[in-house]
């Protein structure tokens, strides 16, 4: 198979970027999308040209590292799939393919297709945890959890933090990510004591990072490789409103040591 690629190239965060056109041929349909770019990169290196910088690590759809907008869709045309799990048999021979990085003010481009997603980490750090130290803990079966609840929590917890939701959202909102993280813990009994504080802090951090606002387009849900439902955004909104009814600043910053 042969493909005409139009890829965003940008030397560094503060350099100006532009699209470059490439052609790769001799690609078998069993090649994954990233292997196709690996092949391109090898050929570029052999010719002494700079390779296309892109991120990937696990290449089995779980680390959330890969981040490409392929022909206008984050992670490409297949629903519920990361870029690394996309295979060239899903494309037509000779098809032009445009590849762009995630576009978001909160995810500045570092180089070519690599962006800085540390904003997500800061959202997590602001409250995406249950305060527990390592050490002896109560017997878990003393606190049964309805399997439906555990499953729903896992539906949210399976977020891989790739940022496709932000990339797909016409407003560049990070609501699906934040909602998934808030709901994962908010659904479980372990997450209850810090539930209201968590949602307030995480939403506040999300705003500080400069993400856009939700207009309920549901593009995030469509782009999410883990198919996380926007019902969790509704849940986030509900929890956030409920949190505003809680006493403000119930306790100061907690000493986690």
Chain residues 126-155 in contact with another protein, contact rule CB under 8 A: 126, 128-141, 144-147, 150-151, 153-154
Cα angle 126, 133, 62 (rounded to 5 degrees) comes to: 60
Distance between CA atoms of 141 and 153, rounded to whole angstroms?
Answer: 17
Binding mask 19-48 for another protein (x = CB under 8 A): x-------xx-xxx-xxx-xx-xx-xxx-x
Spatial contact of 233 and 175, defined as CB atoms under 8 Å apart: yes
Residue 91 binds another protein, judged by CB under 8 A: no
Chain residues 200-219 in contact with another protein, contact rule CB under 8 A: 203-204, 206-207, 210-219
Q: Count the site residues for another protein by CB under 8 A.
A: 135
Query: From the CB of 99, what's the least distance to another protein, in Å?
Result: 10
Residue 22 or 81 with smaller CB distance to another protein: 81
Residue 100 binds another protein, judged by CB under 8 A: yes
Tell which one of 2, 12, 21, 193 touches another protein (CB under 8 A). 12
Residue 94 or 144 with smaller CB distance to another protein: 144
Spatial contact of 222 and 81, defined as CB atoms under 8 Å apart: no
Residue 111 binds another protein, judged by CB under 8 A: yes
Map residue 116 onto helix, strand or coil: coil
Tell which one of 248, 250, 251, 252 touches another protein (CB under 8 A). 248
Structure tokens at 61: 């759809």
Residue 94 or 244 with smaller CB distance to another protein: 244
Query: From the CB of 255, what's the least distance to another protein, in Å?
Result: 8
Tell which one of 182, 185, 196, 228 touches another protein (CB under 8 A). 185
Distance between CA atoms of 174 and 120, rounded to whole angstroms?
Answer: 9
- 247 Cβ contact partners less than 8 Å away, ≥ 6 residues apart: none
Closest alpha carbon to 2 in 136, 117, 109, 93 = 93
CA separation (Å) from 197 to 70, 129, 204, 215, 235? 38, 11, 11, 24, 15
Chain residues 45-84 in contact with another protein, contact rule CB under 8 A: 45-46, 48-51, 53, 55-65, 69, 71-73, 77-78, 80-81
Residue 94 or 198 with smaller CB distance to another protein: 198
Residue 4 or 39 with smaller CB distance to another protein: 39
Tell which one of 33, 75, 196, 239 touches another protein (CB under 8 A). 239
Distance between CA atoms of 224 and 31, rounded to whole angstroms?
Answer: 23
Structure tokens at 47: 């010719």
Residue showing tokens 């393919």: 97
Query: From the CB of 56, what's the least distance to another protein, in Å?
Result: 6
Closest alpha carbon to 99 in 135, 53, 141, 153 = 53
Residue 4 or 158 with smaller CB distance to another protein: 158
């Amino acid at each position: 198979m042969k493909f005409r690629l139009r890829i965003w190239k940008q030397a560094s965060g503060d350099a100006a970027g532009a699209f470059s056109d490439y052609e790769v041929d001799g690609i078998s349909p069993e090649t994954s999308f990233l292997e196709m770019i690996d092949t391109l990169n090898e050929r570029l290196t052999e010719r002494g040209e700079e390779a296309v910088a892109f991120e990937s690590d696990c290449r089995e759809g779980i680390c959330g590292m890969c981040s490409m907008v392929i022909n206008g869709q984050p992670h490409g045309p297949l629903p519920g799939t990361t870029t690394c799990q996309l295979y060239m048999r899903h494309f037509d021979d000779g098809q032009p393919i445009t590849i762009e990085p995630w576009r978001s003010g909160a995810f500045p481009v570092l180089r070519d297709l690599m962006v800085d997603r540390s904003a997500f980490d800061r959202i997590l750090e602001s409250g995406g945890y249950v305060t527990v130290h390592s050490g002896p803990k109560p017997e878990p079966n003393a606190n049964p959890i309805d399997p439906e609840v555990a499953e729903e929590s896992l539906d949210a917890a399976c977020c891989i933090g790739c940022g496709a939701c932000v990339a797909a959202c016409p407003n560049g909102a990070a609501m699906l990510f934040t909602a998934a993280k808030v709901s994962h813990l908010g659904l479980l009994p372990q997450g209850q004591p810090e539930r209201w504080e968590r949602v307030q802090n995480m939403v506040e951090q999300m705003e500080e990072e400069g993400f856009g606002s939700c207009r309920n387009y549901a593009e995030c849900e469509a782009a999410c490789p883990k198919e996380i439902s926007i019902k969790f955004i509704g849940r986030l909104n509900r929890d956030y409103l409920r949190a505003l009814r809680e006493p403000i600043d119930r306790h100061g910053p907690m000493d986690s040591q």
